[in-house]
Amino acid sequence: MDLLQLCQLRFFVLLISCFKYAVGSLTIDLTTANADEVLGSADLALVNFYADWCRFSQLLHPIFDEAAFITVQEFPQDKAIVFARVDCEQQADLAHRYRISKYPTMKVFKNGRMMRKEYRAQRSVSAITDFVRQQKVVPTQTIDDLRQLDNIDRTKRTIIGYFEDAESENYKTFEKVAHILRDDCVFYVTFGEVSRPERFSGDNIIYRPAFEKNPDMVFLGTLKNFELLLAWTQDKCVPLVREITFENGEELTEEGLPFLILFHNKDDEETLQRFQQEVARQLIGEKGSINFLHANCEKFRHPLQHINKSPKDCPVIAIDSFKHMYIFPNVDDLAISGKLRQFVLDLHSGKLHREFHHGPDPTLISNIDHKVEEQSRPPDSSFQKLAPSEYRYTILKRDRDEL
């Protein structure tokens, strides 16, 4: 590109920018009065939660607005894509509702629902617009021959829909659910004659769990009920016990719930299944108060070293409260009724923390020697180091009960 062409290009970009600001920002200001209506009517909404005094928020404003402008130009007929922002100082109730703990936070909403995963990619116009384009891609893969389903990746959770017509209300509901859960499951779909062998009683949806030894499950509700289908699919696609990795560690930490973690060797599927079963049996009622996770011992050597363990000691179960780490005494006690549950309840009641500072409760002192008492004192949290970086966000300093 010669100098003249470069100047012309820069002039063109400047002209677009001037036109954009002349007609006003295309980013919607959300308030408690309009948030439900705006987000509820959008298939996809990207919302910037900010504070005017935050330097990172100030840097993001023009980038976010330009991304909104480009998106509108690229999808002029699509009124269901929304760019919005929330002044968290002026709209404190909205900030609290959506659990904002840092500025700026970019939350993703689909059909009015806030997604578990917020936008964490590069803060550039191209990255943000690329993200929107990816979200616009059809979330289902069409199967032209049922024999293709024999060769799908069985290491992934899969939802398969069998429909008469791609224009049907049933499929539209299915597609809406697939858009919301596309990061958690793989969605396949078949239509017409191809799907007929599986539609003996009408349109049909099945869940195919990861790994061949697990049987398929059939959705038994009405396909026109979006809420029911979403709840069923979410239950199948989002496991009760999730794997923590370095890629998702920040978002899991930011959920603000303590971690109950099984550290296990990669090939130790037996212990992982036992842990999953006992969490489901003993702790399903604690789902909203603690995150159930499993971690690869080799990848997470550092947290293990933090509690004086190594991969050769795995499997190991521990709680990280983001203040301290506590070790479950014996993995072999997993199947003892109520043992794992009591470990979690002792965290919530403050017993683990109390014994950390003051030694065992009086009723137990006679049964525990001083050596064990000294060893029971846990180290500081290791996983709090995965929290968002203060070089990228303004982190809100909120008081948290010291567990």
Query: Which residues 6+ apart lie within 8 Å of 242 measured at CB?
Result: 248, 252, 291, 292, 293, 294
Q: Could you tell me which residues are beta bridge partners of residue 105?
A: 49
Contacts 24+ apart (CB under 8 A), 195-198: 195/146, 195/162, 195/163, 195/164, 197/146, 198/146, 198/162
pLDDT in the model for residue 403: 42
The 8-class DSSP code of residue 144 comes to: S
Rounded CA-CA distance 121/112 in Å is 22
Are 379 and 307 contacting, i.e. CB atoms less than 8 angstroms apart? yes
SS3 151: helix
Domains of the chain: residue spans and CATH? 11-136 (3.40.30.10), 140-237 (3.40.30.10), 241-395 (3.40.30.10)
Rounded CA-CA distance 123/336 in Å is 49
Where do the DSSP E strands lie in 183-272? 186-191, 204-208, 217-218, 241-243, 259-264
Are 75 and 26 contacting, i.e. CB atoms less than 8 angstroms apart? no
Rounded CA-CA distance 397/390 in Å is 11
| Tens of pLDDT, residues 335-385 | 899 999 999 999 988 888 776 666 566 654 444 444 444 444 567 777 766
Give the CA distances from residue 6 to residues 2, 12, 126, 341, in Å, rounded to whole numbers and listed in that order: 6, 10, 20, 66
Amino acid code (one letter) for 263: F
Closest CA relative to residue 233, chosen from 186, 286, 301: 186
pLDDT in the model for residue 383: 73
pLDDT in the model for residue 4: 52
Q: Which ranges of the chain have pLDDT less than 50?
A: 6-7, 9-24, 364-376, 399-403
CA dihedral of residues 30, 36, 39, 41 (deg, nearest 10): -130
pLDDT in the model for residue 24: 46
pLDDT in the model for residue 17: 45
Q: Estimate to the nearest angstrom the gap between the alpha carbon of 369 and the chain centroid.
A: 43
CA dihedral of residues 68, 73, 76, 79 (deg, nearest 10): 0
